[in-house]
Amino acid sequence: MSPRPTPPPTEVVASDVARALAEDVGAGDVTAALLPDTTDIAYLLCKEDAVVAGRPWFDACHRAVDPGVRIDWRVQDGERVSAGTVLATLAGRTRALVTAERSSLNFMQTLSGTATVTATYVDAVRGTGCTILDTRKTLPGLRLAQKYAVRCGGGQNHRIGLYDAVMLKENHVRAAGSLVVAIRAARAAQPSLPLIVEVETLAQLDDALAEGCERILIDDFDVDMRREAVRRAKAAPYHGRIPLEVSGSVDLTTLRGIAEDGVDFVSIGGLTKHVRAIDLSMKLGPAP
C-alpha cells in the first residue's frame, strides 16, 4: 500500500483558505446571521464514486470560522469511496458551519475531482511500469493544492514551477542555435537543477541521449517514432538510463498503447486543467 501523500505546508493551506473566505464572506455573512447562534451537527456527503482529496483545506476553512469546531473524518485523502458515503461529521456553531460550508466544499469538490480523474489515468497504465505526471496547467493560485490532489490519485508531480527544474523546449533550441548548445548552456547556468529536454525529432533524441539529462520529453511523436525512440533510449550505450516522457495528444483511448510501448512517463495537462468537480454536499443534522 502506497504511503499517504504529504499535503503542502500549513501556511500554504491557510493562505488558500484565507483568500477563499475573503472572497465569499467579505465583510460578513448576512445570510448566516439569520440563523440562531447555537450549536449543531452536520455531515459531509459524497454523491458519486470518487477519490477523496482536500481534507486539510476543508478543515482549515471551518476552523478559521470556528476554532472550536469538531470534525470527525471517516475516510482518508487518497481513499476511493462510493456514491452515498458520509465522509465526515461536524459539530460546532450553526452560523459558522453554514458560513464555511461553500468554501470548504469548493476545495473538496475541486481537489477530489483532480484526484479522481488522476486515478482513472493511473488505472489505465497499471502493470506497464509507466507513471502518470501532471503539468503546470493548474488553476491560478491552487498549484500546490492540485499537485497534492494528483498525488492523492496515485500520480506524480512534474516540476512545480519555473524554478525547480530546467526544461528546454523549441524556443530555447531556436535561440541557442541547436539542441546541443542549449543543453550545454543550461548545464552551465543551473548545474544543480534537474534538466528536462523536449525533442521533436529522432536526431534531437540522439543528441539529448549523448549529452545527458534527467528526462527526455518526446513531444507528439507518431507511433513508429515513439517506438524507435524507446528502442534507442534502451539500447547500448544508454541502457534506459534516461527516462522518456510522452506529452501531447494523449487521452484514455490512446494511453494504454503508449504506456505499453515502454515509455517511462506520460504527462497529462487535463488532470488539473479540465476540472469536473465531484458532487458533494454538507447538510445540517445527524448523518444517515
Q: Percent of the chain scored above 70 by pLDDT?
A: 99
Tell me the pTM. Answer: 0.95
Alpha-carbon distances of 246 from 111, 150, 263, rounded to whole Å: 25, 18, 7
Alpha-carbon span 244 to 241, nearest angstrom: 10
Digit-coded pLDDT (tens) for 126-175: 999 999 999 999 999 999 999 999 999 999 999 999 999 999 999 999 99
Task: List active site positions.
Answer: 102, 137, 169, 198, 219
Give CATH superfamily name and number for 10-122+275-284: Quinolinate phosphoribosyl transferase, N-terminal domain (3.90.1170.20)
Alpha-carbon span 160 to 12, nearest angstrom: 14
CATH of domain 123-273: 3.20.20.70
Alpha-carbon distances of 239 from 94, 180, 245, 271, rounded to whole Å: 63, 21, 16, 31
Digit-coded pLDDT (tens) for 222-250: 999 999 999 999 999 999 999 999 998 89
Alpha-carbon span 68 to 63, nearest angstrom: 7
- Residue extents of the structural domains in the chain: 10-122+275-284, 123-273
- By the 8 A CB rule, do 282 and 105 touch? yes
The answer to whether residue 1 scores a pLDDT higher than 60 is no
